[in-house]
Amino acid sequence: MTKILINDGMHNSGVEKLRAKGYTVSTDKISQDELSSKLQEFDAICVRSATKVRQELIDACPNLKAIGRGGVGLDNIDVDHAKSKGIAVLNTPAASSRSVAELALGHLLALARFGHISNRQMPTSGNTDFKGLKKAYSKGFELEGRTMGIIGFGRIGQELAKLALGCGMKVVATDMVDITAEITQQIGTQTVTNSIKTIPMDDMLSQADVISLHVPFTGKAVLDAEAFAKMKDGVVILNAARGGTIDEASLLQAIETGKVAAAGLDVFENEPTPKQELLNHPKISCSPHIGASTGEAQEKIGIELADKLIDVLG
């Protein structure tokens, strides 16, 4: 009988779909230290970002037929080694796209109207300095007419483009490959399509008022001191992709010089212990890596991953 270990959790819709297929599904978490011995009795493992499936673990589990990742990134799995052993590596790139894009936009909206910082200060000083806070946070900005720059124009980047266009923004995007995306929206009774073709990175950096990252971490920061120097003064930076894609020291320096007006960060270099100076900074809006953490996204992830496992395991 096929046995599947769900080690980092899965929405019940996905679990029940696997059980309805006749698989034995365990949702009892096994610690990283114990996996090499206990995973040997399973045919497949499903993880999120917590569990690491490295070469040593793969080699210790010869019965393994599939590794599923609930989410987009596969940086916690040695993908090439798994595939060399004939093990299928599965992920769910489509399921959480809307949720991640909406969180990025949420950070932008908060920064545009100082929602992130006024929400911290109102409970402690709102009663005594309401007029002072109102004056301090009276110079927000609207999104309409500004340019959204998107690094990584896959599913999530294209979802963000749709949201940005809906706010009246212009969109410029860059990617490692040339992409022309048809972004279709329903506005009232009309269907509106915008064709967006990716442009070189340097062109995007020089044009954008807001820059949002939607790329995996490949061992090197995408936005470093050199990249910041090519941006407009007063740009807003958003990162709901992966920690490490922004050089955080360079980001802090760019904020201090005014090159960057503000930043919205859902991911950090040192998760789960981000730098305190990022968390406390009045020009940075923070969230604890919750891009895909909506009920809708989790259900989509569970169902998509279950379907893919069924296709592979039969």
Is 102 a known active-site residue? no
50: tokens are 């917590």
Bond from prior residue into 274 cis (ω within 30 degrees of 0):
no
Please tell me the distance from the alpha carbon of residue 302 to that of residue 38, in angstroms, as a whole number.
23
Catalytic entry in 11, 48, 242, 281? 242
- Name the DSSP letter for residue 79: H
Burial class (CB in 10 A: 0-12, 13-18, 19+), 128: exposed
Catalytic entry in 54, 81, 113, 289? 289
Please tell me the distance from the alpha carbon of residue 58 to that of residue 67, in angstroms, as a whole number.
10
Is 41 a known active-site residue? no
Cβ-contact 270, 289 below 8 angstroms: no
Strand 44-47 relative to strand 88-91, pairing:
unpaired
Task: Give the Å distances, CA to CA, from 154 to 178, 180, 216, 244.
Answer: 11, 10, 11, 19
Comparing C-alpha atoms, which of 169, 154, 274, 263 is closest to residue 214? Answer: 154
Cβ-contact 90, 69 below 8 angstroms: yes
Which strand (E) or helix (H) includes residue 107?
helix 97-112
Catalytic entry in 34, 271, 277, 296? 271
Is 16 a known active-site residue? no
Please tell me the distance from the alpha carbon of residue 311 to that of residue 130, in angstroms, as a whole number.
59
Query: Which residues does the annotation mark as catalytic?
Result: 242, 271, 289
